[in-house]
Amino acid sequence: MTSTPYHVHLIHKPEDEFFNHLKELVDPNVVLTAGTELPDPAEYHMLFAGRPEPEQITASPNLQTLVIPWAGLPPEARDLALKHNLPVHNLHHNAGNVTEMVMALLLAAAHHIVPIDQKMRQHDWRPRYEDNPSVLLHSKTALILGYGNIGQTVAKVLKSLNMNILATRRNVEQPIIEDGVEIHPGSALKELLPKTNALIVCLPLTSETEGMLGKDELNLLQKKSLLINIGRGPIINEEALYNALKDGPLHAAGLDVWYNYPIDEATKANTPPSKFPFHELNNVVMSPHRGGFFGTGETETMRMEAMATLINAAASGKEIPNRVDVQRGY
């Protein structure tokens, strides 16, 4: 560690409890500032900003690294990073949180927990005596699209259900086996879908992934297949997904990401997540993009710890984890 201070600025200041925790975790030689008002003079070397403004990038002549404080790269941040030849890194502190959401959605969808719960609240026991709509996961095949931190964590849990795991990853040119998971390049998608009983989408939204799952792709899935999307809504064609749930081939789905979001405080209480009536379907579990557990104390603590790891690596001249391929957008 050199004697020259390493300056880090956070555009969004964490609550004092968590900001103080971050200060305790970083090397004493690190200077931390935070807030939408930039320090004067602006001399930061690392900037944490999900959707940075151009002036936040250009204000400091010392800026070396942009950190997006979640997984993924918003298009506007990508454009700025390319324009200024700026390395970008992600935080992956919430892989465990998102994995729990995947499993909650998967199990609820597989066993039709929500509609049966609604019947039981009306004291209606008939689902117990009717044809069972559940799909058994044991020994079935799951395909994870996007085998990064989240995808790898999901795979570990799915193995405990004795599922066979297939996955796709961007930097694989031919099939490989890692920890019992069969990993393929993304170009093998149409070969993998017919083998799939449970499709788990963990991809970021980029020009490559937008609309990659449409009617033709969904029709390749096994009968009574399940789909979980915790990546981004538009990775799956909106109309194709609705029709696949309404008329087949999908047996059920769990969706934590959507096509339409509230734009302000007033619209939070009444914004349809899609132009199609997914809410009328009994075979979809709907969640309002809660997978990251944003804002909870446990999550914020993990976020501070992940931030400290990146900061301390940069300040000591070591390789910074979680480098993003800016050209590809993830």
Q: Is there a single domain that holds both residue 11 and residue 141?
A: no
Are residues 132 and 58 part of one domain?
no
130 with 149, same domain: the answer is yes
**Does the residue 257 lie in any domain?**
yes
pLDDT of residue 52: 97
Does residue 301 sit within a domain?
yes
Question: pTM of the entire structure?
Answer: 0.89
Residues 208 and 79 in one domain: no
Task: Flag whether 136 is in a domain.
Answer: yes
C-alpha span between 36 and 302 (Å, rounded) = 23
Specify if 320 maps to a domain.
no
Instruction: Spell out the per-residue pLDDT of the chain, length 330, in tens.
Output: 446 899 999 999 999 999 999 999 999 999 999 999 999 999 999 999 999 999 999 999 999 999 999 888 998 999 999 999 999 999 988 889 999 999 999 999 999 999 999 999 999 999 999 999 999 999 999 999 999 999 999 999 999 999 999 999 988 999 999 999 999 999 999 999 999 999 999 999 988 999 999 999 999 999 999 999 999 999 999 999 999 999 989 999 999 999 999 999 999 999 999 999 999 999 999 999 998 766 678 889 999 999 999 999 999 999 999 999 998 888
- Could you tell me the residue range of the domain that residue 158 belongs to? 95-286
Instruction: Tell me, yes or no, whether 222 and 73 share the same domain.
Output: no
Do 171 and 77 belong together in one domain?
no
Same-domain pairing of 261 and 133:
yes
Structural domain includes residue 14: yes
Residue 89 shares a structural domain with residue 125: no
Whether the Cβ atoms of residue 224 and residue 252 lie closer than 8 Å to each other = no
Answer whether residue 42 is part of any domain.
Answer: yes
Query: Does residue 291 fall inside a structural domain?
Result: no
Q: Which two tokens stand for residue 64?
A: 């070396």
- What pLDDT, on the 0 to 100 scale, is given for residue 116? 97
Domain check: are 42 and 111 in the same one?
Answer: no
Give yes or no: residues 75 and 169 share one domain: no
Task: Kindly state whether residue 328 falls inside one of the protein's structural domains.
Answer: no
Query: Do 86 and 38 share a structural domain?
Result: yes
The number of folded domains in the chain is 2
Q: 223: domain CATH number?
A: 3.40.50.720
Whether residues 145 and 274 share a domain: the answer is: yes
pLDDT for res 295: 61
